Amino acid sequence: MNQTPTASELRNSLVDDVIMNVSLTRDVERALRTVSRETFLPGVDLKDTYADQAVIIKDNPGGPLALSCASVPSVVAMMLVQLDVQPGDDILEIGAGTGYNAALLAELTRTHGSVTTIDIDPDVALHARTMLNRAGYERVHVRERDGLVGAPENAPYDRILAAVGLWDVPAAWWDQLREGGRLVLPLRWRGQTQSVALTRRGDTLVSDDMALCGFVPIIGQDGERTAALNTDDTIRVHHDEDQAVDADALGASLRGAPVEVLSGQRIGGEESFDGVWLRATAGGDRVCRLEVTPDALAQERILRPAVPGRSPLLVDGDSFAYLIVRRECADPQRPFRLGAAAYGPRAQSLAQDLIAHIEAWGSARTSVARLTITPAKTDAAAGPGFVISKRESRLTLTY
């Protein structure tokens, strides 16, 4: 007779699965096997608690994204590895969520360090405080606070971890991170979000790792815009505030015939090609995100993008090109071929520009961009690389 697995068995099974995709340190693995996630998700079925998926803890009636959730465990683990917590570290977490992540951080910093977690939502902060107390982590400091302000009363910190999506690096955080300290945050630029691990060196943050991810955005940053290309709002372009997008002109071009160009790069069924997007953002200001809904695909309003909900897009005036994937039988190990679909008067040239990004990625598929960030208010000259200016910081990308 089959017995229902215990919480401990499910927890260890989940960590075993995470190890298959994330290279865990011994300390992070120990923390994941120690902290009872079910304590922080009361009322949630144990199988859902220990599935590698996000769990919403507070809905957002006014928008499509939740106000707060428990993040995907494998992403939590990956970011903890990036953070590289040492025993005795003082840590600030932005976005308290369920309190589970703060408990993991408390395990990592052990008894000689400190953990401060903050959340702008009073219900979420209260939930985190209650659950942390219930789990025996009373020493974690929980504050109801705007994450963009941080928690200067316990600063400076050796580590800052953001568990919410950021469009910019808040100026207030610089004074709260020690020299040599690490900042890990889901940072959004040109329509994609990367979990970036950075070390502070004076007035510069320098990355040594990044990985594609997705997070609930922080409240108070609004640097991204959305433009509908058709009247029923089923085809959209998401772009940053410094990018000019003429939705009417692009929508008019969409009614014309598309151009389709294939690259020489092929991929397997489980092989990621997200590096194409990252590569393109280091090469110009024209990169945005294309979103195509199932209704638009069903009505054949547009050639199918590589990932309908989020595909890299190049925009130039009244023309645009985006990533596509086509199945071929030439190579059974890599049966899918990457390419570009484009619309508008400059469709052919834009498609070729996107193909160039695909080929550059294909020549060094595991290469990751180096990101340096400086405060926008500094006079420091940008180093070599492509610069993206935001309200409070400057991003420089190099390969």
Q: How many CB atoms lie within 10 A of CB 279?
A: 25
C-alpha angle 77-174-225 in degrees, rounded to nearest 5:
75
With beta carbons less than 8 A apart as the criterion, state whether 59 and 66 touch.
yes
Residue 157 half-sphere exposure toward CB, CA atoms < 13 A: 29
Q: How many CB atoms lie within 10 A of CB 362?
A: 18
Q: Which residue has the tokens 């009636």?
A: 61
| b (16+ CB within 10 A) / e for 213-241 | bbbbbbeebebbeebebbeeebbbbbbbe
Handedness of CA 55, 58, 59, 60 (dihedral sign): negative
Q: Which residue has the tokens 């945050």?
A: 185
Is 74 labeled as catalytic in the residue annotation?
Answer: no
Q: Which of 68, 71, 114, 207 is catalytic?
A: 71
With beta carbons less than 8 A apart as the criterion, state whether 66 and 56 touch.
yes
Q: Catalytic site residues?
A: 71
